[in-house]
Amino acid sequence: MRYWLMKSEPTEFSVDDLAAAPAKTTAWFGVRNYQARNFMRDQMRVGDKAFFYHSNCEKPGIAGIAEVCKLAYPDATQYDRGSKYYDQKATAQNPRWFNVDVRLVRKTHFVSIKKLRSYRDLANMRVLQKGNRLSITPVDPREWEFITRVLLK
């Protein structure tokens, strides 16, 4: 099993939206960064766990835990001319963008990025690195264990 941090802007799709979704499940669509796409397409497996992270908001941070419940498949928004995620170079024969489905495991109390930064054990966590803008990043098993044991207990 691998661990991930998946960012979503709460004004677009929040942990509450995931909790209200049918079967508490959604496609993690709209990722338009090749490295983040490759994480989903090449490395994510059913059962992998992820921190649901609210980003690009007044108080960014972890708001829940989700799990991958469907392997990567082509992101339908890349073909939709009315979508802000439309990609004219994508074709059904050669999709450029993929998504996985995630299911909410549980909402958690909120853990801010400021709180995450206050722990030396998390100093190397990718989301905390300067310049990191990826919407999906791997989480080291030690970081996952620390956060779930100390911050989300």
Determine the pLDDT at residue 5.
98
In percent, the amount of the chain with pLDDT more than 90 equals 97
Q: How distant is the alpha carbon of residue 151 from its chain centre?
A: 19
The 10s digit of each residue's pLDDT in 83-99 is: 999 999 999 999 999 99
What whole-number distance in Å separates Cα of residue 9 and Cα of residue 13? 6
Query: 3-151 falls under which CATH superfamily?
Result: ph1033 like domains (3.10.590.10)
Parse the chain into domains and list their residue ranges: 3-151
Mean pLDDT of the chain, nearest integer: 97
pLDDT-derived band at 101, boundaries 50, 70, 90: very high
Tokens of 45: 């497996």
What is the phi/psi pair of residue 97, to 5°?
-125, 140
What whole-number distance in Å separates Cα of residue 127 and Cα of residue 125? 6
What's the mean pLDDT in 69-82? 98
Tell me the one-letter amino acid at 98: F
- Which has more confidence, 41 or 132? 41
The 10s digit of each residue's pLDDT in 4-34 is: 999 999 999 999 999 999 999 999 999 999 9
Q: What is the pTM of this model?
A: 0.96
What's the mean pLDDT in 44-59? 97
